[in-house]
Structure 1
Amino acid sequence: MTPEDLPRHRPNVGVVLFHPDGRVWLGRRNKQPPPHNWQFPQGGVDDGEDLLDAARRELSEETGVVSAELLARTEGWIPYDFPPELVGSKRARGWLGQKQVWFAFRFVGEETEIDLEAHGEVEFDAWMWGKLDETPELIVPFKRGVYEAVVSAFQGFARGV
């Protein structure tokens, strides 16, 4: 798929941050009740922004993390549709869903670097290291297929260094 594909899907990037031991960083969505309130950092791509730059920006804004080495990225877009019951600003702006490119990074800093208030706009109110293969069960159901694709793409990094 090219950037022109799925024109009514908002361009977005997602980040899987791997701990050196192979676990992955998960954030609990701020003010979202359980279950299915844990996810990876993700966010929109600004007009003209390089996808890797967008991934690094989103990682920094949502987690405070800048000490991360690129491991891999998915090829092409992985799309999902917003469910009809989702009423929000993205749907109101005419988006049918999002199309994502995912990046895997290895965390090379100290955990004191993690700051959920780094950007001022808090996306997550808690975080944890978890197992990659368990993440599809933690995410909202309409994103589960995306997380299954991400697990498949990045499972080799879950073994640690």
Structure 2
Amino acid sequence: MTPAAIAALPYRPCVGIMLINAQGLIFAAQRIDSPTPAWQMPQGGIDEGENPGVAALRELEEEISVTPDLVAPLSETRDWLAYDLPPEIVPNIWNGCYKGQQQRWFLMRYLGDDDQINIQTAHPEFSEWRWIAADEMLGAIVPFKRQIYAQVIDEFRDWLA
């Protein structure tokens, strides 16, 4: 795809969830499909007509088996945040229909026990997970998402370890 063709593409509507434990550490999971270590927070697309808050709860359940009764909503980002994919991977993700993602991020406190988190779902996305501090999260995310993660961490800083 040419740079002009990529620039003309829309952003994919998406939610992201910063799930924190009682100590203010962030849930991070290793992507199963990454050739290099790539840790991230849960995130996913918003279905047509779906409310972003509902999408966030659905994504938690789909990706890590965390049901709505196991979380307490704390906050959400003031604005939608967007990031661009590296041009070389645009044609290979989402059938080349999007240049990146526009996300609404939600902060939620995890109320359950660690053994209630299950990444071996119907369609696993992660190979392992752990609780990490904000600075470690920034160092663990792929470079093209680092700026958006920094914005999310900045907005939710008061709740973090």
- The TM-score, its normalising length taken from structure 2, stands at 0.89
C-alpha distance in structure 2 between counterparts of 1:65 and 1:94, whole Å: 30
Deviates more, 1:79-88 or 1:41-50: 79-88
Report the alpha carbon displacement of residue 88 of structure 1 after superposing the two structures with TM. 1.7
SS at the partner of 1:146?
helix
1:85 is matched with which residue? 88
Q: Which moved more, 1:128-137 or 1:71-80?
A: 128-137
The match for 2:27 is: 25
Q: How many equivalent residue pairs?
A: 151
Secondary structure at the aligned position of 1:125 is classed as strand
- Residues 40-86 of structure 1 show CA distances to partners (whole Å, capped at 9, x for unaligned) of 00000000000000001101111111201000000221001111111
Q: What residue ranges of structure 1 are gaps of 5+ in the alignment?
A: 1-5
Secondary structure of the corresponding residue to residue 85 of structure 1: helix
Distance 1:34 1:21 in 2: 29
SS at match of 1:34: coil
SS at match of 2:103: strand
1:44-63 pair list within 5 angstroms? 44-63=45-64
State the alpha-carbon separation in 1 of the partners of residues 136 and 80 from structure 2. 22
Mapped partners of 1:133, 1:72: distance in 2: 20
Cα separation, 2, equivalents of 1:110 and 1:45: 27
Moved over 6 A (4+): none
CA distance in 2, matches of 1:53, 1:136: 26
Paired residue type of 1:73: E
- Percent same amino acid at aligned positions? 38
State the Cα distance separating 1:133 from its structure 2 match.
2.5
TM-score, structure 1 normalization: 0.89
Match of 1:114 in 2: 117
Q: Give the deviation of 1:7 after TM superposition.
A: 7.4
RMSD: 1.5
Measure the CA separation in 2 of the matches of 1:7 and 1:89. 13
